[in-house]
Structure 1
Amino acid sequence: MDTPAGFVPRVRTRLSRRDMVGTALARLGACRVNYKVVPGLYCVGDPTPDSPVLVTANYKLTFDAVRRELDGVDAWLLVADTRGINVWCAAGKGLFSTDEVVYSVRSARLDEVVSHRKLILPQLGATGVAAHHVRKACGFEVAYGPVRAEDLSAYLAAGQRADEEMRSVTFTLKERAELVPVELFLIGKPLLLTVLAAFVLSGIGPGFFSLSRAWERGVIASGITILGILAGCLMVPLLLNRLPWREFWLKGALVGGAAGGLAALCLSGSVSGFGAAAMILWALAVGSFTAMNFTGSTPYTSPSGVEREMRRGIPVQAAAALIALALWLGAPFWG
């Protein structure tokens, strides 16, 4: 679209098959690190100088979520350079910031494109942007739109007014489940290394090393590791609002320890008491550690809360893992 500031790309509001494949891969973590669009000014529909300006991040998953909800809307999209990070995380990292918004306005020559002086920012970006500094630096006022992109059309149709539901942050079962695949994908490489180590260490015993012992005990150790991961990465987010305590490392320790105890009970005829104790402690440590990864992905905690939880949880997880390792290595010798 030709404007006084030059040509502005017009983007579709309907996602293509390629976009959907990219979304699926990003959800799995396969292309999450470099899944972004070029920062700058875009438009949807046929906007005029009076049309609203929506500011968003250049993480493509975020960009696609916004444009998909603007079918039938004429608007300008100002995409800030957040290094391919979503709005909420970028605001916390200082990337979706006052300076970045001001820079984006100036570099797009937005004052030549629109006749008004108002920007609509996502509510979850408010922690990184000081509205009065933006107005002072570039002359544009800041209004905060709804939390979710799916409410944008209703927000604009209501005269840019958000009701209480639009302002409320949710963390539903569906939203929690969407976080599970990427966590499982990212833990793949550490899991492979852990499984290899489990088979090697499980073969140690009287007579130094036994291949049959490595296989028999290695399968159990690998299974307990996977069980702990599923407890922390799958069961904790799905059962989040039904588990006691607020801190995630405690939730993971509870579910992981319970899973390890159940496995030890089922294998009571195959492992000694020391081995069973090692299984419980290892599942507890793995479940607690993997569950703690969700502290930065939820509305349950703040950045300072995440740091405080890590200071409390990591020493306990490390101690449980070391004791589990000692018990597992000593079990063949101690009977």
Structure 2
Amino acid sequence: MFKGAQRTKNVKPGWIIGWLPTRAGFFPKISTRLSREDILGGWRVRWGFSRMNYQVSPGLYGVGKPGADSPVLVTANYKLSFDSLRKHLEGINAWIVVLDTKGVNVWCSAGKGTFGTEELVGKIESLNLSALVRHRNVILPQLAAPGVAAHVVTRTTGFKVLYGPVRAADLPMYLKNGCQADRQMRTVTFTTMERLAVIPVEVILSWKIALAALAYHLLAQYLSGHLSSWSTMTQFLPYLGAILAGCVLTPMLLPWIPGPSLAWKGWLVGISATLAFALINEHPWLVNTTYLLILPAISAFLAFNFTGCTTYTSLSGVKKEMRIALPLIIFSAALGIVVRFVYMYVWRTPWQTL
């Protein structure tokens, strides 16, 4: 009886290379080598395309020639997480339990509760894991710890929860060391390359902000009688600059920007870019005031979105930042819009270059 992953319309099972017969049923044997399709799929989701539908079916899989003494690894059913795990298991015999995390990665699903105690217990029992292996250990990613009550899992199923290393790349050494992790394996990093990897999806997802800014800009240009001028589009460039400051420059420069808050860091980058722009352009002071109120607010908001990607924040810190930063961002942007229309209609001065 097949209890592993079923073929789904959003995942082609090219990575299933055979079947593993066991006393508990037949389970898919998967490849540890990523195909061109796997690589292109990972590239697409990093750019924000179909990222909410990039998942594998929950269930049990095997790599190599797993047996009754093989380790049991647990991961999320987000395919990028699944691929990151299996590609580092070359030459290893292991079972992989994939939880139903609704297509969300390990860290985020642990925070949301989908990579949680109930789901793990349910999978251990429904897969009849006790009949598959002689030992009673399941190895979870370290970043899954916030979502799992290990003592409840042990009390309910008899399986002990072991937390593996942060990175799947360290799993071979972790297993070789008898499931012992050193300090380096336990340390969460957010290096320049790791920060660059999450920038593309944030750039793509910023389209709503860009569209809202463009609509506001075109409306103001229309009301000021400058909609047909070439400067309409060129004067939108500062808004694009604010977007890039928030979702590109801020994560790139993150460790060197002062302050603990991501919104604050984004605001600092945004205000710096806006001041530089104001210095090289001869605008009336109210025009520059509008820029200084709106553009850094855009940068701060987009930088704040990185709270789900970084190790610089905690849940309590994010909640505090939302209470403080978001109202200030909204107030600043709204005030900037008011100043712009005051300049247009109260001062009765032709709107030149905003």
Give TM class, smaller chain: over 0.9
CA 217–211 in structure 1, closer or farther in 2 if over 3 Å, else same: closer
Query: Could you tell me which residue of structure 2 aligns to residue 255 of structure 1?
Result: 269
8 Å CA contact 1:260–1:281 kept in 2: the answer is no
8 Å CA contact 2:69–2:134 kept in 1: the answer is yes
For residues 306-325 of structure 1, what are the structure 2 equivalents within 5 Å?
306-325=318-337
The CA deviation string for residues 164-216 of structure 1, in whole angstroms up to 9 with x for no partner, is 000111111111111110001111243124213311212323xxx34346x52
Query: Could you tell me which residue of structure 1 aligns to residue 239 of structure 2?
Result: 225
Query: Could you tell me which residue of structure 1 aligns to residue 13 of structure 2?
Result: none
2:30 counterpart SS class:
coil
1:43 counterpart SS class:
strand
TM-superposed CA distance for 1:329, in Å, is: 2.4
Query: Could you tell me which residue of structure 2 aligns to residue 302 of structure 1?
Result: 314
1:36 counterpart SS class:
coil
CA 84–64 in structure 1, closer or farther in 2 if over 3 Å, else same: same
Question: What one-letter code is carried by the residue in structure 2 that aligns with 1:287?
Answer: S
2:60 counterpart SS class:
strand
The counterpart of 1:237, out of the listed 237, 251, 257, is 251
1:143 counterpart SS class:
strand
Mapped pair 1:23 → 2:35: no
TM-superposed CA distance for 1:262, in Å, is: 1.1
Question: What one-letter code is carried by the residue in structure 1 that aligns with 2:265?
Answer: K
The counterpart of 2:55, out of the listed 25, 36, 56, is 36
Question: What one-letter code is carried by the residue in structure 2 that aligns with 1:307?
Answer: K
- Indicate the larger mover: 320-329 or 11-20: 320-329
Question: What one-letter code is carried by the residue in structure 2 that aligns with 1:73?
Answer: I
Query: Could you tell me which residue of structure 1 aligns to residue 109 of structure 2?
Result: 90
Per the normalisation by structure 2, the TM-score is: 0.90
8 Å CA contact 2:218–2:227 kept in 1: the answer is no
TM-superposed CA distance for 1:233, in Å, is: 0.5
**Higher helix proportion (structure 1 or 2):** 1
Mapped pair 1:112 → 2:131: yes
Cα distance in 2 between the residues matched to 1:258 and 1:195 = 22
The CA deviation string for residues 48-93 of structure 1, in whole angstroms up to 9 with x for no partner, is 1100000111000000000000001000001111111111111111
TM-superposed CA distance for 1:108, in Å, is: 1.1
8 Å CA contact 2:263–2:303 kept in 1: the answer is yes
Query: Could you tell me which residue of structure 1 aligns to residue 161 of structure 2?
Result: 142
Identity of aligned residues (%): 45
Structure 1 segments, 4+ long, off by >6 Å, are none
CA 27–121 in structure 1, closer or farther in 2 if over 3 Å, else same: same
TM-superposed CA distance for 1:139, in Å, is: 1.0
TM-superposed CA distance for 1:217, in Å, is: 4.5
For residues 176-215 of structure 1, what are the structure 2 equivalents within 5 Å?
176-205=195-224, 209-212=225-228, 215=230
Query: Could you tell me which residue of structure 1 aligns to residue 231 of structure 2?
Result: 216
2:28 counterpart SS class:
coil
The CA deviation string for residues 109-166 of structure 1, in whole angstroms up to 9 with x for no partner, is 1111111111011111111111111011111111110011110111111111100000
Mapped pair 1:285 → 2:297: yes
Per the normalisation by structure 1, the TM-score is: 0.95
TM-superposed CA distance for 1:303, in Å, is: 1.2
Query: Could you tell me which residue of structure 1 aligns to residue 141 of structure 2?
Result: 122
Mapped pair 1:72 → 2:91: yes
Question: What one-letter code is carried by the residue in structure 2 that aligns with 1:242?
Answer: W
Cα distance in 2 between the residues matched to 1:281 and 1:2 = 65
